[in-house]
Amino acid sequence: MEIRRATINDLDAIMPIFDEARGFMRRNGNLGQWTGGYPSREQIADDIALGHLYKAVDGNAILGVFFFAVMDEPTYHVIDGSWRYDRPYGVIHRIARGPSFPGSLLHEALAFASEAIDYIRVDTYCDNIPMQRALEREGFTRCGIIWIADGSERIAFDRLRV
């Protein structure tokens, strides 16, 4: 398996992966995250255009996708709690794996992201228990609550690789 930057030609293969992820969330009690068509085709096309959407591939098959960028995330400016470090960081958003992904896409995405930067921040929905557990297994620490653009809360995590 390899991690590669997604291209606009991948869009038709990527969108069903997000459908699968929404189904997984619903089957695991997460009824409120990624509703109303989020992430939209337009959002994913924008992520691709910015060069921030990556795909996990086996040959030509796309097994999973995630957003990764080293950037200042505006929704992370206000936190009820505190980030553990005040330094440049990478963010991972919109992570989704298809049904044939072997193992943990989060683990693979973090290995990839950690080659670029040693400090990562992530947030997730309060009902996304599988993601919260996966983040804790990967060494993340819960830092507090942040609010995204629509005003809803997310649990914020960070990890510094030493």
At 32, which CATH number? 3.40.630.30
| pLDDT surpasses 90 at 75 | yes
Contact present, 69 and 80 (Cβ < 8 Å): no
Distance CA 106, CA 125 (A): 15
In terms of residue numbers, what domain contains 155? 2-160
Entry field: residues in the chain: 162
Question: What average pLDDT does the chain have?
Answer: 95
Segment 115-143, tens digit of pLDDT:
999 999 999 999 999 999 999 999 999 99
How deeply is 143 buried, as exposed, middle or buried, from its count of CB atoms within 10 A (0-12, 13-18, 19+)?
buried
Number of domains in the chain: 1
Confidence of residue 100 (pLDDT cuts 50, 70, 90): confident
| pLDDT surpasses 80 at 56 | yes
Is 0.85 topped by the overall pTM? yes
